[in-house]
Structure formats: structure tokens, C-alpha cells
């Protein structure tokens, strides 16, 4: 077939990943044979995991595992249909009720994935005469949602309220409805969205405000209620979305807001109506994680103790962490090839973290995305710090630190 007319021609010419594989530094799709708290077994060796979103460390909590097993015993392994038809479990509704209460909302709707929650909620709310004001560093699921929505999308500079106000002032009058959409905590940089300023702008320009709290649920605020709670502004956004695949040790997503808006999304969001329901074990896991997060504040406290320690020490070493003040701590490396080599060296030294390269970051902005858990031991963190110091020095990024024995060995 002629390469100009062959739909698959692009697959033959795609060489980026193969080049990195040939160099022996390909860092993706590493097979994990087992997980053990804050470590993993990969290629037969235990490694300290500093690249997971398991912030509260609940994936191996005995109560969580028991709840998942009990759900399988009671409901089986899957719902075999959408919630709209035959897949609506009492378990789903319990999760929605308790999560709505935790978030201070009238109602909540759970989706089979967080991606589906963004895709369905945003696309069904934004009509042809409406507009989305979208932060340029929002998650890919939001970016895809803006493409699916039939209204216009205007992007503002990352977390830049001056730019957002400028765009609102010059364009808002052209549209009927408007939705400002942003991550609460940005997944690559660890930035926290400037919610108070965005709330003021939304009111001034008659916009609705949508916050993606995927990396904020269980993390931000005194009780882990999210970005709003961090700013002592619970209920300030019109709609809050989040996932269960991070702090809540499962899979699935949700949208929470007024009863009227959630009722509309429930009957209009195609990614909800035409997707199989969240599996019973996943729903039970999320529900039990929510209950533990409410009942046991010590995990939240330990998470932040670990995050603050790592942030302080990595900054003292000389790493550029993009001023993150969350458990997501990026380490700016520079070009993509250096980041791949750095990550491979980490892996060889029994530390598991992943590089972030273009197009997820800007040119020469490649980084190692590190993130920390409540269950990291002091010994694991110390080993990770010493390993990062040694490699930072070897790669000419930072200064000196003494070595220490590997607790993962």
C-alpha cells in the first residue's frame, strides 16, 4: 500500500521509543511482580517506590483488602453492564453518599475511571454557545474533554490569574455560559491551583468553576478533603472531580456538586451512560479507603511529614523542585536523554521513579517525577535521598552527600 494513503504508515515511522529501548534506558512498562508497602519487586529485586500516587499507602491495608474480597464474594467480579441499565449496585450509592458528605456537597456520581469522569462531565455541560477557560498544564483527560465538548476552549497560562483575567475581559462577552477548569494539584509540577483568585474571577465574570482534585483527595487540607479545604474554602468550586486511583487505592472517578447538576450529568454524560459500572471490588476499596481517611488522621499526618522532609532535603541538596509544596516533588533534569539515563541509574540502584519528557513538559524541561507515601519508612527515605544525591552529583546537577546502605536489598 502507498505510504501516503496507508493509515498505518505513521506506525512504521515512529522511532522515538525504539531509540530509547535500543539505548537500554527505556523506563516505561517495567513489569512489577509484586508490591510490598512502599516497595515493589521488579526484575526479581525489591526497589523503593518513589513514583507512585499511593499517597496514603492504603493498597495493602488489611481493612481495604478485606472489603474488596467481601465485595467479590457478595457481588462477583464485575457488574457486566452500565449503571444506567443493570450495573447499579447499592455499593455505588453508598460510596456516592459518603463521599458527597465528606466533600460537603449535595450529591456525587461515581464513574468507572477518573478519565471518564472528566470526559463525561465537561463535555455534557459545555454547549455550542459556551466556552471553557482551561489551564495550559491541565491533565490530558481535561484536554481531551475540551476537544469533545462542542463549545470553544481558551487556554490561559499555567496558574496565571492575570492572564486568565485578561482573557476573561476580552472574550467572556462573546459566549453564553463559561466554565473555568483546572487541576487542584497539578500532577507533574506539584503546583496548587490559585483557587481564591479563580473564585473571585469566576464571580466577577459570571463563570462556573470546575476543579480536578485527582491528586488532592486524601492529601490536601487538614482532613484530606481537597484543594478547597487547603484554602479553607470548602464548597467554593461549582463542581469537583476526582479519582480513586491514587489516595484511595482503587480505580474509578467521581463528580460532586449540587444535586441538580449531578442529576443532569447522570443522564447526559456519555462516558457514564455507555461504560460498564465500577467493579464491586473497586467500589468497596474506595469506600473503605474513604472511611479510613476519615477515621485515622495519622496517615495524613505521616504523608505530610514525609513530603516536607523530602522537599526540604532535596532543595538543600540543590535540586530544582519547581517550588512544589505537595507530596509530588519534581526534580528538573534538563534534556530528555539525560532524564532517561538518570531514571535508569535510579532503577539500577533499587529506586523506582519515572522520567517525564516531551510533550508532557517543555523542551529541556525533562524531570524525574517523585512522589511520597504515608508508608515510606525513614530508612527508605534516607536511602532514596542518598541515591538521589549521588546521582545528582554524578550528573552535575547538585553537590555532596554521604552514602548509605540500601534498605531495599
Q: What is the DSSP string of 291-326?
A: HHHHH-HHHHHHHHHHHHHHHHHHHHHT---TT--S
Q: Return the percent helix, strand and coil in the chain, to nearest 5.
A: 40, 15, 40
- pTM as predicted: 0.95
> Given pLDDT bands bounded at 50, 70 and 90, which one contains residue 403?
very low
Cα–Cα distance measured from residue 330 to residue 160, given in angstroms and rounded to the nearest whole number: 20
Q: What is the DSSP string of 332-360?
A: EEESHHHHHHHHHHHHHTTEE-EEE-TTS
Cis preceding-peptide flag for 359 (omega within 30 of 0):
yes
Each residue's pLDDT tens digit, 17-33: 999 999 999 999 999 99
Q: Is the pLDDT of residue 408 over 50?
A: no
CB environment 50-66: b (16+ within 10 A), e (fewer): bbbbbbbbbbebeebbe
Cα–Cα distance measured from residue 211 to residue 229, given in angstroms and rounded to the nearest whole number: 12
> Given pLDDT bands bounded at 50, 70 and 90, which one contains residue 399?
low
Rounded average pLDDT over 175-179: 98
Which residue, 210, 286, 217, is CA-closest to 252?
A: 286
Mean pLDDT across the chain:
96
Question: What's the pLDDT score for residue 367?
Answer: 97
Which residue, 159, 103, 148, 100, is CA-closest to 122?
A: 148
How far, in Å, are 169, 181, 192, 306 from residue 207 at the CA level?
12, 10, 20, 38
- Sorted by where each starts, the structural domains of the chain and their CATH numbers stand as 11-43+297-394 (3.90.1150.10), 62-295 (3.40.640.10)
Q: Is the pLDDT of residue 402 over 70?
A: no
> Given pLDDT bands bounded at 50, 70 and 90, which one contains residue 338?
very high
Question: What's the pLDDT score for residue 407?
Answer: 47
Each residue's pLDDT tens digit, 345-368: 999 999 999 999 998 888 889 999
Helices 280-295/90-103 angle, 10° precision: 30
Give yes or no for a contact between 179 and 130, defined as CB atoms under 8 angstroms apart: yes
Q: What percent of the chain has pLDDT over 90?
A: 94
The neighbouring-strand residues paired with 367 are 332, 356
Rounded average pLDDT over 142-150: 98
Q: What percent of the chain has pLDDT over 70?
A: 97
Which residue, 169, 357, 138, is CA-closest to 147?
A: 138
The total of other beta-carbon atoms located within 10 Å of residue 206's CB is 10
> Given pLDDT bands bounded at 50, 70 and 90, which one contains residue 2?
confident
* Unique residue bearing C-alpha cell 523542551: 363
Rounded average pLDDT over 53-60: 98
Each residue's pLDDT tens digit, 225-282: 999 999 999 999 999 999 999 999 999 999 999 999 999 999 999 999 999 999 999 9
Question: What's the pLDDT score for residue 4?
Answer: 85
Q: 3-class DSSP state for residue 203?
A: helix
Amino acid at each position: 500500500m502507498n505510504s501516503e494513503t496507508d493509515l498505518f504508515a505513521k506506525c512504521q515511522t515512529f522511532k522515538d521509543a525504539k531509540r530509547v529501548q535500543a539505548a537500554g534506558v527505556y523506563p516505561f512498562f517495567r513489569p512489577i511482580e509484586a508490591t510490598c508497602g512502599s516497595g515493589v519487586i521488579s526484575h526479581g529485586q525489591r526497589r523503593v517506590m518513589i513514583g507512585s500516587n499511593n499517597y496514603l499507602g492504603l493498597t495493602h491495608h488489611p481493612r481495604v483488602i478485606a472489603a474488596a474480597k467481601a465485595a467479590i464474594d457478595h457481588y462477583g467480579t464485575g457488574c457486566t453492564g452500565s449503571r444506567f441499565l443493570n450495573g447499579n449496585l447499592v455499593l455505588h450509592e453508598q460510596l456516592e453518599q459518603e463521599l458527597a458528605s465528606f466533600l460537603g456537597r449535595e450529591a456525587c456520581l461515581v464513574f468507572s475511571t477518573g478519565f471518564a469522569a472528566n470526559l463525561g462531565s465537561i463535555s455534557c455541560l459545555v454547549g455550542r454557545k459556551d466556552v471553557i477557560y482551561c489551564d495550559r498544564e491541565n491533565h490530558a483527560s481535561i484536554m481531551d474533554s475540551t476537544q469533545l465538548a462542542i463549545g470553544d476552549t481558551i487556554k490561559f497560562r499555567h496558574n496565571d490569574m492575570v492572564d486568565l483575567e485578561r482573557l476573561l475581559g476580552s472574550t467572556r462577552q462573546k459566549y453564553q455560559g463559561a466554565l473555568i477548569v483546572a487541576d487542584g494539584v497539578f500532577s507533574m509540577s506539584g503546583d496548587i491551583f490559585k483557587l481564591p483568585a479563580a473564585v473571585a474571577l469566576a464571580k466577577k465574570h459570571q463563570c462556573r468553576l470546575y476543579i480536578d482534585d485527582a491528586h488532592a483527595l486524601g492529601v490536601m487540607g487538614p482532613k484530606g478533603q481537597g484543594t478547597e479545604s487547603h484554602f479553607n474554602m470548602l464548597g467554593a468550586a461549582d463542581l469537583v472531580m476526582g479519582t480513586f486511583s491514587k489516595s484511595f487505592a482503587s480505580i474509578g472517578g467521581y463528580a460532586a456538586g449540587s444535586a441538580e447538576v449531578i442529576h443532569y450529568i447522570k443522564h447526559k454524560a456519555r462516558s457514564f451512560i455507555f461504560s460498564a459500572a465500577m467493579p464491586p471490588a473497586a467500589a468497596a476499596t474506595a469506600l473503605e479507603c474513604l472511611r479510613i481517611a476519615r477515621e485515622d488522621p495519622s496517615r495524613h499526618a505521616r504523608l505530610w511529614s514525609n513530603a516536607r522532609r523530602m522537599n526540604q532535603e532535596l532543595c538543600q541538596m540543590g535540586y530544582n523542585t519547581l517550588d512544589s509544596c505537595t507530596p509530588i516533588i519534581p526534580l528538573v533534569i534538563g534534556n530528555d536523554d539525560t532524564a532517561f539515563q538518570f531514571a535508569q541509574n535510579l532503577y539500577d540502584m533499587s529506586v523506582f521513579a519515572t522520567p517525564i519528557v516531551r510533550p508532557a513538559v517543555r523542551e529541556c524541561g525533562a524531570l524525574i517525577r517523585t512522589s511520597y507515601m504515608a508508608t515510606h519508612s525513614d530508612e527508605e527515605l534516607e536511602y532514596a535521598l542518598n541515591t538521589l544525591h549521588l546521582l545528582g552529583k554524578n550528573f552535575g546537577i547538585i553537590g555532596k552527600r554521604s552514602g548509605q546502605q540500601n534498605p531495599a536489598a
